[in-house]
Amino acid sequence: MSYNQLTPKLFACRQSMELAEKIAKAYGEKLGNVKITPFSDGEFQPAFEESVRGRRVFIIGSTFPNADNLMEMLLMLDAAKRASARHITAVMPYFGWARQDRKDKPRVAIGAKLVAKLLEAAGATRIMTMDLHADQIQGFFEKPVDHLFASTIFMSYIESLKLENITVASPDMGGSKRAYAYSKYLESDVVICYKQRKKANVISHMELIGEVKGKNVILVDDMIDTGGTLAKAADLMMERGAKSVRAICTHPILSGEAYERIENSKLTELIVSDTIPLKKQTSKIKAVSCAPLFADVMHKVQSNTSISDQFLM
């Protein structure tokens, strides 16, 4: 039997167990058995309860804070490497620490580069992720990176709304490329929010570049953290005459008072993926699963076939 005929093994980190189960079901395999042994000081040790020798291994886990989630992924990768797995793919629907992708002021770390090196040192031979905070993070790796776009799962939902007079918006200048990609597919106009910050997560001023009067606006972003930017952008657009404002954010970090801000904002709804589990359900937040997308790409990686048909953008 050739290597490619061997059934791959799928394992999950604890923080992404629900998503991993969906991915495994869509893939057509069961999740492998992993035993986590905790120590009284908070340390923990993962162990595979089945052989992975000579197999392709997919380890599924988003690395959102706290740091234990990243550490669990690293330990799982190291365990697979030392158990003689042939290929080890870190399936990270949300790649944490990605906002630290450059030195934006003196004497700071480039966290995204550090995490990339840690993953490779731990044993990852391939990385699979979705909607990186910055595309250039792929260049931090010396191993292949499958960078998927959430637009492939969000577009069908947008089309099901049957909205007229759509305008796509970016909540900041950095997201303009993403907004233009959505607008090209939807054949719509684009507006951009220009914001100034006092400090991280605190906006001092926001202006709108473009016209939204009478439009159904769709804000697109890679993540939503405290929700301050989107809430402020939605309120500003409704003041400027927008008919409705929806937001699409791939990664629902939703920290602090984010849930309350979204509920109290003028957003019609917030559409997110399930790369990060929601802490609670609200009337304005709708989750669309990315599991079928990851399962399909994992099949294609296993069979060494092209994944280019999965890219709308």
pLDDT tens digits for range 113-162? 999 999 999 999 999 999 999 999 999 999 999 999 999 899 999 999 99
CA–CA separation, 151 vs 156, rounded Å? Answer: 9
- Which pLDDT belongs to residue 171? 87
CB 249 within 8 A of CB 286: no
- Which pLDDT belongs to residue 45? 98
- Which pLDDT belongs to residue 177? 87
- Which pLDDT belongs to residue 5? 63
Q: Phi, psi (5° rounding) for residue 41?
A: -90, 5
User: Could you please report the per-residue DSSP string of 84-130?
Assistant: T-SEEEEEESS-TTTT--S-SSTT---HHHHHHHHHHHHT-SEEEEE
Q: Which residues pair with 208 in a beta bridge?
A: 193
Residues in the chain, pLDDT under 50: 1
Q: Which residues are catalytic?
A: 195
- Which pLDDT belongs to residue 308? 84
